[in-house]
Amino acid sequence: MEKVVVIGLGLIGGSMALSLKQNHSRKIIGIDLNSDHAQQAINLGIVDKIGELTTVSDAAIVIIAVPVDAIPDVAVAVLDLIGTETLVFDVGSVKERVCDRIKDHPKRGNFVAAHPIAGTEYSGPEAAFIGLFKKKRNMICEPEKTHPKLLEKACALFEELEMKTEMMCPLEHDKHIAYVSHLSHISSFMLGKTVLEIEPNEATIFAMAGSGFESTVRLAKSSPAMWAPIFMQNKTNVLKSLEEYIRNLETFKKHIENHEKKEVFRIMEETNRIKNILNGISK
Ligand code: NAP
């Protein structure tokens, strides 16, 4: 049996466990600081057993799927304990901090810094499902620092999850992801906050939510425990993307104030090309 240890049994760790468990020659051991989540993971059949951190010492694969502020410490603790053949990877949404933290670790070659670009607005083991990663992208940072054999093993595993892997340096990863993912979450949270503040009547929000509001505010249902550490860890890039976003909002507001219909129209028409870009991605 191939022993797989999953640390953090929420949406991402739980979905990976469920998917990898389909291969019956694997035994999945789960670890989670939240004892309710550990129990749910057992009840839902996500893992075979709950274990302690020391269980990684004879594991074939260790997956670190905890919030990004906890990943660097957990990564070091795991690398300290594993054998020479163990593959360890994290799934964190910010990559520079963890790569920097483990750069001089004697077992750096056992580690793959990954980010599966897949998720929903839900969290915890109950949100986990098989197929979350299907046809999604996966980013691997600093592949040259992983032992080639273990990198190959990791790529095969992501392929098994039906993901398409791309390589990117951590700095570039964190810069781009701030715009396409982190900013979207802030924008959705702040839209939700604004509507909650100006519209005290929950029934009115509910009645009118069938419009674009529901889809635009979907990400505001996401877990603060997962997202607050991401915004803090990717602070420089997040602030830069926010400044540009606020500048665009101010400009758009001015055009409406000045009744510059042509400009309002032009900006929206130019932005419509996002449709073609996203259609390309979904193919
Ligand atoms: P989640 O559903 O909240 O699950 C994380 C689990 O880890 C929770 O049960 C949490 O317990 C537990 N935990 C926290 N610190 C721990 C520690 N030190 N040791 C063991 N368990 C710990 O989060 P998720 O959405 O799966 O995200 C996990 C990782 O995946 C994050 O690094 C995130 O950046 C990355 N990621 C997320 C998405 C997404 O869309 N959700 C997409 C790609 C990558 P508590 O609930 O008590 O904190």
The structure tokens listed for 33 are 């600081």
- What percent of the chain has pLDDT above 90? 88
Q: How confident is the model at residue 178 (pLDDT cuts 50, 70, 90)?
A: very high
Q: Helix/strand/coil (H, E, C) string of 125-168?
A: HHHCCCCCCCCCEEEEECHHHCCHHHHHHHHHHHHHCCCEEEEC
Residue 247: alpha-carbon gap to chain centroid = 27
d(CA 108, CA 145): 7
Q: List the chain domain ranges.
A: 2-168, 173-282
The structure tokens listed for 132 are 């979350």
- Pocket flag, ligand 1, residue 125 (CB < 6 Å): no
Higher pLDDT, 281 or 261: 261
Over range 100-105, report the average pLDDT: 98
Give me the residue label for tokens 């602030």. 239
- Pocket flag, ligand 1, residue 234 (CB < 6 Å): no
Task: Look up the CATH number of domain 173-282.
Answer: 1.10.3660.10
What lies within 8 Å, CB to CB, of 206 at 6+ separation is none
Ligand 1 pocket test: which of 76, 93, 95, 223 has the largest number of ligand atoms within 8 Å of its C-beta?
A: 93
How crowded is the C-beta side of 84, counted as CA atoms within 13 Å?
A: 0
Nearest by Cα to 174 from 66, 95, 258, 254: 95
Higher pLDDT, 23 or 110: 110
Ranges 183-187, 241-245, 276-280: which has the least confidence: 276-280
What lies within 8 Å, CB to CB, of 10 at 6+ separation is 32, 37, 65, 123, 124, 125, 127, 128, 226
Residue 207 clears pLDDT 80, i.e. is over it: no
**What's residue 3's pLDDT?**
98
**What's residue 168's pLDDT?**
96
- Pocket flag, ligand 1, residue 132 (CB < 6 Å): no
d(CA 255, CA 219): 28
Q: Helix/strand/coil (H, E, C) string of 201-262?
A: CHHHHHHHCCCHHHHHCHHHHCCHHHHHHHHHHCHHHHHHHHHHHHHHHHHHHHHHHCCCHH
Amino acid symbol at 275: K
Residue 283 clears pLDDT 70, i.e. is over it: no
Please state the pTM of the whole predicted model.
0.95
- Quick one: which atom of ligand 1 is closest to the CA of 74? 18
**What's residue 164's pLDDT?**
97
- Pocket flag, ligand 1, residue 31 (CB < 6 Å): yes
**Cα 147 to averaged position of ligand 1 atoms, centre (Å):** 26
Residue 167 clears pLDDT 90, i.e. is over it: yes
d(CA 168, CA 143): 9
For 214-252, the pLDDT digits (tens) are 899 999 999 999 999 999 999 999 999 999 999 999 999
Q: Tell me which fold the domain 2-168 belongs to.
A: Rossmann fold (3.40.50)
The structure tokens listed for 167 are 């390589």
